[in-house]
Amino acid sequence: MQSPKCITLRLSRGALGLVLGAALLTTLAWQAGANAARPPANPTALAVVNLPKVLQSLDERTVRQDAMTKATESRQKQLDELTKRIEALTLELDPEQGGTIKQGTTEYRDKLIQLRELQVTLDARFKLLEQVLSFERGTIMRELYQKIESGVNRIAERDGYDVVLLDDTDFKLPNEAGQDDMNRAILARSVLYRHNSTDITDQVVQLLNNEFKAGTRP
């Protein structure tokens, strides 16, 4: 019984190159056809919002800031009263300022302890006031930002915007800065150019102010 014959194809380098070239052209032609068949992407509708301008223009921010200022003034009066008591005790204990209490006496030690307690109390209340004010400002900022974000979302849905960016075109580069600081300032920019027609800042302000006056949103 004869064994099956093996057939071997031998291609020259030139022929092999032609085969590979034809395969490559076929692949490129297929990719070109696939890309041509793909529908073009729809244009993206963009808008920008100037966040600092919105915050400065919100009626709610003004009202809440005024309320916080009044509350701060009330707390400041308490600090002022403590300060006056400290100043009065300091004068009593200082002979150069007309103080009549003699050092080394029981009255002097009692007054000195009272002075130290008032100073510690004043320092603690001042630090607490700073922390409270910082927390209140942070709370107001967070709540206002959430309302701005909600307003932007509703306007974008209503007017058909796909993307809304923070407009930072008003932020200018520093005139003088080191290389690292200048690089950070440049890389922090997100919008290099925008047309005025893409700015919806005034629309956001009007929407939120109208809702605040009407009390329609918390």
- Write out the chain's pLDDT in tens, 218 residues: 444 444 444 545 555 455 555 565 566 565 666 565 566 667 889 999 999 999 999 999 999 999 999 988 888 998 999 999 999 888 888 877 777 777 888 888 998 999 999 999 999 999 999 999 999 999 999 999 999 999 999 999 999 999 999 998 888 888 888 888 889 888 888 888 889 999 999 999 999 999 999 986 65
pLDDT score of 134: 93
pLDDT score of 11: 46
- The answer to whether residues 206 and 57 touch, using CB atoms and an 8 Å cutoff, is no
167 Cβ contact list (under 8 Å, min separation 6): 48, 49, 50, 51, 191, 194, 199, 201
In the block, residue with structure tokens 């194809």: 9
133: which 2 tokens? 């004010």
Q: What is the DSSP string of 134-186?
A: HHHHHHHHHHHHHHHHHHHHHHHHHHT-SEEEE--TTPPPPSS--HHHHHHHH
Q: What angle do CA 110, 85, 99 make, to 5 degrees?
A: 60
Alpha-carbon distance 208 to 62, whole Å? Answer: 13
Length of the chain: 218
Q: What is the DSSP string of the chain?
A: -PPPPP------HHHHHHHHHHHHHHHHHHHHHHHHHSPPPPPPPEEEE-HHHHHHH-HHHHHHHHHHHHHHHHHHHHHHHHHHHHHHHHHHH-GGGT--PPTTSHHHHHHHHHHHHHHHHHHHHHHHHHHHHHHHHHHHHHHHHHHHHHHHHHHHHHHT-SEEEE--TTPPPPSS--HHHHHHHHHT---S---GGGB-HHHHHHHHHHHHHHT---
Does this model's pTM top 0.85? My answer is no
